[in-house]
Amino acid sequence: MSTATQQDAFVATVDRLSRLSVDRHADAYADIDWDGAEMALRPGDPRLAPSGFDPIVRTEWYQSRSPEERARYGLHRTASMMRTGWEFENILQRGLLRYAFDLPNGAPEFRYLHHEIIEESQHTLMFQEFVNRTGLRTSGMPRPVKAVSHMVVSLARWAPSLFFLFVLAGEDPVDHLQRLHLREGDVHPLVERIMRIHIAEEARHLSFARHYLKRHVPELGPVRRAGLAVVAPVLFGLMGRLMVYPAPSVLRAERVPRCQARRALRTEQMQALLRDALAKPRRLCDELGLVGPVTRRLWKLMGIGDGSGTAGSSSAYEPG
């Protein structure tokens, strides 16, 4: 495909995403009946229990808990994911604003990027509103990640392809987990409403990031492409664990025994969940030529290869 044809296809995609952002968007307060009786977060509600894919569900600690205690753990886990989610989206918004700042007049992505920023702000509002209504203390991302967030934002100007890989590293795993959660059924109506809004709008955000990378990565020089190829598996391995694994702060607050949590995180089921959550960005990197004989080993070392080898260690993320 010629460069001109690729650009035409990119413009058409961005225009379509912009139209969808106008036709199908949600407001965090107008489209969620926060004070409706069915939306109340009542202690012990079994619909707040964690999803079956949560590794802690298979521990002796969890099996010995009462239904009320299981629901509390599930609520705490969900609140933590939402707090982490909006902090990630805050970084994303700042990066998109930084990227948009240097765009010339007439750039087709300028409009879409601001639609996405607006939608991410709505997601931030509904995530934090949910956290507030739980009454639980949640800390979100680990402090080291928060400390380097400004560096991630700067990537949007100096290394935008790496920045959009970061976008996929955070959004794809969350999208995967939320779809699994809804598929299990019997989800609390407030959690379900928030997740359905988020999934519908994140589909556009993921689509833009993928199309951006398909459009621009082939234009990079060999040195930058080689750099992306090395960084990608490390980035996805670390961010995937941040989004998929239970937060150490939740495990501490709920007094989950550390030895049981460690064993749960190292099971093949958990490693398979991590690989599945990153399957789409892994395939995209393969399509972009970022997965070669050498870097393929790095994907497997990070535990997020194609599953044909042994699972990687989870030592990069240990419950505290």
Task: Identify the band that residue 310 occupies on the pLDDT scale cut at 50, 70 and 90.
Answer: very low
pLDDT digits (tens, 9 = 90+) for 57-93: 999 999 999 999 999 999 999 999 999 999 999 999 9
pLDDT digits (tens, 9 = 90+) for 184-195: 999 999 999 999
Contact 120, 94 (CB under 8 A): no
pLDDT value of position 307: 64
Neighbours of 238 (CB within 10 A): 15
Residue ranges per domain, the chain? 3-301
Distance CA 58, CA 61 (A): 8
Q: What angle do CA 280, 281, 282 make, to 5 degrees?
A: 90
pLDDT, mean over the chain = 94
pLDDT value of position 6: 76
Kind plus residue range of the DSSP H or E element containing 249: helix 248-253
pLDDT value of position 200: 97
Distance CA 296, CA 308 (A): 11
pLDDT digits (tens, 9 = 90+) for 86-116: 999 999 999 999 999 999 999 999 999 999 9
SS3 (DSSP) at 53? coil
Task: Identify the band that residue 318 occupies on the pLDDT scale cut at 50, 70 and 90.
Answer: very low
Distance CA 254, CA 65 (A): 11
pLDDT digits (tens, 9 = 90+) for 248-271: 999 999 999 999 999 999 999 999
Size of the chain, expressed as the number of residues it contains: 320
| Neighbouring residues of 248: CB distance < 8 A, sequence distance ≥ 6 | 142, 318, 319, 320
Is the per-residue pLDDT at 12 higher than 80?
A: yes
Task: Identify the band that residue 5 occupies on the pLDDT scale cut at 50, 70 and 90.
Answer: confident
Q: Which of 212, 182, 7 is CA-nearest to residue 96?
A: 212
Contact 283, 83 (CB under 8 A): no
> In the CATH scheme, what architecture does the domain 3-301 have?
Orthogonal Bundle (1.10)
pLDDT value of position 2: 65
Is the per-residue pLDDT at 28 higher than 60?
A: yes
